[in-house]
Structure 1
């Protein structure tokens, strides 16, 4: 989803007044992360979806926070969104963090009963990140929210529910 080419994404966004989404966001790159979160909130408010945000130090910690929340006594989430921005630097750290958070989200999708949406930007520089929070590459926060709503609806249909 690196371009605005997925025009079908914003078609048929389900109205899920009873849905609840937990967004897990990082402290790192807060200016960008806050724009991702704001885009998601905009969609959720328009669709009547309730939401909560949890903040973790960095992208590496996102999967742990999602897993811990899912196993907690907190209100059950219908979907999770992982929000982070990892910007390449001069060391291999970028590669390790990107792989760890990606693998973590994949693992959660295979083990939890709740969809986990990948809203982590993995970019070469800050300009590329800004292009993905309302710039020429769309708004990845809004896209993550739409994806969450569609996955909630699909999960419910597959399970024969509401």
Structure 2
């Protein structure tokens, strides 16, 4: 009887001892900000745009149609630092050799609850609250809905950081 009791106690306590020794590894999904910035910073280039007016659009347009060829490769750089640094930088081709690499600096804001990303798109002349339509490791699509009219601008960017 004692042997059976010892065997029972061993069967109950042994698994309890080893249960505390194992570490359960659970993957952590990337957040919007991690996808947007990478681990330190991530650069994006505008590749297309679409204008909606009263629910109608002429379709997706090549973003290079908005810019001079020397501006079409400019990049939007989002930093993963606490200040949420944002840079608009010259791409590989500059319009003038005296232009700085960083055209201007600002900050970005992300509100996960409604997937709103605030940053500057220079061609529009200001910082706007963009609704994130799509965000993957390689593609970002944002849209701004005008508050007083039934119209919106949609821009798609591709990551240039590999």
TM-score higher than 0.5: no
* Structure with more strand by fraction: 2
Higher relative contact order (CA 8 A, sep 6+): 1
State the TM-score bracket (shorter-chain normalisation): under 0.3
* Structure with more helix by fraction: 1
TM-score, normalised with respect to structure 2: 0.26
TM-score, normalised with respect to structure 1: 0.26
Q: Which protein is bigger by CA-based radius of gyration?
A: 2
